[in-house]
Structure 1
Amino acid sequence: MGEQVTRVGIVGTGVISGTYLDHLGKLPGVDVVAVADLDLARAQTIADQNPAIRATSPEELYAADDIEIVVNLTIPAAHAAVHQAAVAAGKHVYGEKPLAMDRAEAEPLLKYAAANDLRIGCAPDTVLGTGTQTARAVIDRGDIGTPHAATAFMVTPGHELWHPAPEFYYQPGGGPVLDMGPYYVTSLVTLLGPVVRVTARAGRAKQQRTIHTGPRAGTVFDVEVPTHVTGVLEHESGALTTVLMSFDVWAGRLPRIEVHGTDGSLSVPDPNGFDGTVEIVTPEQREWTEVPVAGGYAGAGRGVGVADMARALRTGEPHRASGELAYHVLDVLESFVDSAVQDQPLDVASTVTRPAAVPLGASPETA
């Protein structure tokens, strides 16, 4: 029997599309057949380099009979509109994070897709790699007992040091929480389950920032959002995660994520990557010890969530990088910022089922 293949079309041919094309070309069960962009010349450049891929307009791609999944790699402000156009055309859709700019945009998408038996998937799919999945296996085996606490730290001095046009990081929809938070909270929900309540405080070290690189170096711009946010996520399981996300820290010797249980502590690698070293400390072994890889898609890269979704479509199983998970993560992140602004704890209205673990040795075609 020949391999079953799900045909994919990509909308948006910016820088990230090259990474997706590279990795999707290596994954089983998916075949990119078309690319589209508002600038057709950019799509045509990709098609010229890949004879098996055709260039189209977005509207032609949505209407194409041979495409089952639309991969949405447009700018965040366009995510909801492209998702809506794809599902309205009867296509499943998988997009880069965030699912939408806010909950008000995202909720109707999920309702429409569910009512029409369509699926929505969303990055980050980094949590399907061996890093987070090995940590998940350690927790599920009970190696650290019952998890009761975690920490998550993401600190940087700011994107204006390297980005030639960094203003959007400091405008509504930006800030450290909404920029990098999807990686961290998706990993935390994968490890510890959904979040039911948040408490946060926020500040900003500078009211203005200066671009340091590129043709606009020296340009001063206003900071419109909090740039240092800290607080606590309360998980449905009872575990408490202490969070610090900041664009105001010059250097910090802080772990990315740690999980602490009744019988040990676990060091989890950077959730913005697919692999990395997992380490454990227990009462018997008081020094950090590396854990052998125990789960996850080996050698994974951007787009493994698309292949996982394609397989799930063929088998009727839930896909792991789901729209429901992305919505819950967006809800947690928005609630976290709202809590800081309103100066009060807030309940998180949504919930989600913890995604299935990725077994050791799995490929997107089989697990």
Structure 2
Amino acid sequence: MGGQVSPDALRVGVVGAGVISAQYSACLQRLPQLRVTAVSDLNAERAGALAGEHEGARVLPLPELLASDDVDVVLNLTLPSAHADIALQAIAAGKHVYGEKPLATSVAEGRGVVEAAAAAGLRVGCAPDTVLGTGVQTARALVDAGEIGVPHSATAFMTTPGHERWHPQPDFYYQPGGGPLLDMGPYYITSLVQLLGPVERVVGVSWRPAGTRTIGQGPRAGESFPVTIDSSVAGVLVHASGAVSTLVMSFDTWAARLPRIEVHGTGGSLSVPDPNHFDGTVSLYSAASAPAPSPDADHEANWRDAGVLAGYTGAGRGYGLADLALAAREGRPHRANDEVALHVLDVMESVQRAADTRTSVELSTTCRRPEPVATPVELTA
């Protein structure tokens, strides 16, 4: 059932016991800052299985969970289309909220959640918290220390042939509210905001190579379904700092040898690991130690493993919620916050709007870079 729980742990009511809840549950069991007290799901069997992993947790209908005196924060693991509605219900019930990405399916919905929480004096957190792990935080520490000089550009690539190969019900990935940008974009854009700060303006293009997809596994294997949105998107993000990021998100690419994220500066470059994970190797290329220019110069050999310099160690999904619990106790802003989540949603919506209208789009939001996790920290100690 997990380790010792702090007496002032934040009491968590989980709404949604689907696939992603398993990763959260495993992590919450070892985080003393949090204690699961209630679970709600339309599928009673799934809710009971999840509640059984947490001593004393009860299965409750959603209205009873929201009204419960032993729930301080709602962990919202529902489908994206329900994120804003569940968050608003939780806020109306006087609960903090931490949700899976994205914050909502539109900036207008997301802004409503942020404003409701501010008016109620409650906190809203949002995934991804992968950016609080040692991968992105080590990269950020190197950027902030000037190890690559002044950052001027970045590239971010997420390419896959599509989720229908493994997901038994993949239709929603290819309908409005889905697609590679809304599905995976939060990991990459949140990382770029951590590394380079907020975005001011974007341009974008999108395309749809195929009008149908075929399910590869499960009871519907072999069934085809329509693709009603563009399945590949590319964007150029102009950061307030002056740096420019190039973003490519695709459900149409069979194989690629592209790095997940690279950041380039006047004095070197960084290779950042997959932002869908919490850790991984950060590689640093320093111009100061680069080989002399020649046709035979071995630049590949000049990359070095930067080690682990910062971030939550041993992290998993739920560390953003634990950080929220600590922040509430310490009276500081939490890192995986609604300001960043709303801005990231604005970036994604604006890239798609720029693609649809063939224009450049100015963002309506901004955000502050959250405080870094400046040294390696283990939250389960």
TM-score between both structures, scaled by the size of structure 2: 0.93
Q: 1:192: which partner in 2?
A: 196
Alpha-carbon distance in 2 for matches of 1:357, 1:245: 26
Distance 1:76 1:208, change over 3 A: same
Q: Is the 8 A contact 2:204 2:355 kept in 1?
A: yes
Q: 1:223: which partner in 2?
A: 227
Q: Is the 8 A contact 2:25 2:50 kept in 1?
A: no
Q: 1:252: which partner in 2?
A: 256
User: 2:304 corresponds to which letter in structure 1?
Assistant: T
Q: Is the 8 A contact 1:198 1:345 kept in 2?
A: yes
Structure 1 residues 94-243: aligned runs within 5 Å: 94-243=98-247
List per-residue Cα deviations over 1:282-309 (Å, max 9, x = no partner). Answer: 1233311000111000000000000000
Alpha-carbon distance in 1 for matches of 2:146, 2:29: 37
1:348 aligns with 2:381: no
Which of 338, 349, 352 in structure 2 is aligned with 1:323?
Answer: 338
Q: 1:335: which partner in 2?
A: 350
1:17 aligns with 2:32: no
Any idea what SS the aligned residue of 1:136 has?
A: helix
Which of 34, 43, 47 in structure 1 is aligned with 2:38?
Answer: 34
Q: Is the 8 A contact 1:6 1:31 kept in 2?
A: yes
Distance 1:81 1:6, change over 3 A: same
List per-residue Cα deviations over 1:126-185 (Å, max 9, x = no partner). Answer: 000000000000001000011000000011111122222211111111111111000000
Q: Is the 8 A contact 2:30 2:380 kept in 1?
A: no
Q: 1:300: which partner in 2?
A: 315
Any idea what SS the aligned residue of 2:289 has?
A: coil
Alpha-carbon distance in 2 for matches of 1:272, 1:53: 29
User: 2:332 corresponds to which letter in structure 1?
Assistant: E
1:57 aligns with 2:88: no
Alpha-carbon distance in 2 for matches of 1:48, 1:210: 36
Question: Unaligned stretches of 5+ in structure 2?
Answer: 1-5, 291-301
Alpha-carbon distance in 1 for matches of 2:151, 2:367: 19
Alpha-carbon distance in 2 for matches of 1:219, 1:261: 48
Any idea what SS the aligned residue of 1:284 has?
A: helix
Alpha-carbon distance in 1 for matches of 2:268, 2:227: 41
Distance 1:134 1:33, change over 3 A: same
List per-residue Cα deviations over 1:178-203 (Å, max 9, x = no partner). Answer: 11000000000011100000011111
Q: Is the 8 A contact 1:40 1:57 kept in 2?
A: no
User: 2:372 corresponds to which letter in structure 1?
Assistant: A
Alpha-carbon distance in 2 for matches of 1:144, 1:248: 33
Q: Percent identity?
A: 56
List per-residue Cα deviations over 1:49-98 (Å, max 9, x = no partner). Answer: 44321111111111111221111111111111110110000010000111
Cα-Cα RMSD: 1.5
Which of 281, 285, 289 in structure 2 is aligned with 1:285?
Answer: 289
Structure 1 residues 351-362: aligned runs within 5 Å: 351-362=366-377
User: 2:342 corresponds to which letter in structure 1?
Assistant: Y
Q: Is the 8 A contact 1:190 1:354 kept in 2?
A: yes
1:79 aligns with 2:94: no
Any idea what SS the aligned residue of 2:118 has?
A: helix
User: C-alpha displacement at 1:38, in angstroms?
Assistant: 2.8
Q: Is the 8 A contact 1:308 1:365 kept in 2?
A: no
User: 2:259 corresponds to which letter in structure 1?
Assistant: P
User: 1:148 corresponds to which letter in structure 2?
Assistant: H
List per-residue Cα deviations over 1:12-67 (Å, max 9, x = no partner). Answer: 11121121111011113111111112333432233344432111111111111122
Alpha-carbon distance in 2 for matches of 1:23, 1:12: 16
User: C-alpha displacement at 1:213, in angstroms?
Assistant: 2.3
Any idea what SS the aligned residue of 2:368 has?
A: coil
TM-score between both structures, scaled by the size of structure 1: 0.96
Any idea what SS the aligned residue of 1:149 has?
A: strand
